[in-house]
Structure 1
Amino acid sequence: MKKAFFVALMGAVLASGCTVRVADMTVASTKNYNLNSSKFVKGKRVIGEDNYPVILFPLGFPNIKTAMDDAIQKDRCAVGLSDVVMTSVNHSFIFGMIGYRVEGDLIIDQTQPGCASKA
């Protein structure tokens, strides 16, 4: 009985994690673009992540800018994100993963070359 309880407890500890909302933003970008453009359209919802494994200690340092760049680069005409949610992810106890997740709707600039028909 004690062994089964210990195994269940260790399984719960190893599978546990913490996801914490870092920020909510109306508009966010890591790109330089013309704010006065009148050709912005809302694109699909995307998720970008920057994660590193943990084996006793983290094997890298996640960066929220890298996660945002990953999300924006889902479409070559995108210049930013709207309705953005930034989240810190920590699913580790001895082994696991740490990182950042950025989720938002793409802001597509139709004035960019080859982007006039995007919607």
Structure 2
Amino acid sequence: MKKAAVALLLGAVITSGCTVRVADMTVGSTKNYNLNAAKFLKGPRVTGEDTVPVVLFPLGLPNMKTAIDHAIEKDKCAVGLSDVVVSQLNHSFLVGLVGYRAEGNLIIDASQPGCTSRS
């Protein structure tokens, strides 16, 4: 019985983790675009992540910019995110993953080539 309790406790510790909110932004982008000459539309809410595995120590360096890029690149006409929440992921204890998650509504630029059919 004690072995089962220890195994259960160890399993809970290994699979546990936390997510910490790093930033809240009204608008965020890693792309260059013209703010004055664009027809912006609000797109769906998307999420992008950049994570690296952990086996005793992180096997790389996660990047917040890459997480934002992954979210923006969900739509070829998107140039940024609105109502952005950036979180740091720490889901590891000896093994697991760490990284960043960016979540926000797509800002779609209908004036870009191939994006004029949006309304």
- TM-score calculated relative to the size of structure 1: 0.96
Tell me how far 1:73 sits from its aligned partner: 0.6
Structure 1 unmatched runs, 5+: none
Name the amino acid aligned to 1:10: L
Q: Which position in structure 2 is the counterpart of 1:60?
A: 60
SS in 2 for 1:52: strand
SS in 2 for 1:37: coil
Tell me how far 1:5 sits from its aligned partner: 1.6
Identity %: 69
1:34-72 Cα distance to aligned partner (Å, 9 max, x none): 111351000111100001100111111000000000010
Distance 2:83 2:101 in 1: 14
Q: Does 1:13 align with 2:5?
A: no
SS in 1 for 2:69: helix
Distance 1:98 1:33 in 2: 31
SS in 1 for 2:66: helix
Q: Which position in structure 2 is the counterpart of 1:84?
A: 84
1:68-103 Cα distance to aligned partner (Å, 9 max, x none): 000101111100000101000010011100010000
SS in 1 for 2:116: coil
- TM-score calculated relative to the size of structure 2: 0.96
Q: Does 1:4 align with 2:4?
A: yes
* Count of residues paired in the alignment: 119
SS in 1 for 2:49: strand
Flag as ranges the 4+ runs of structure 1 deviating above 6 A.
none
Distance 2:116 2:78 in 1: 12
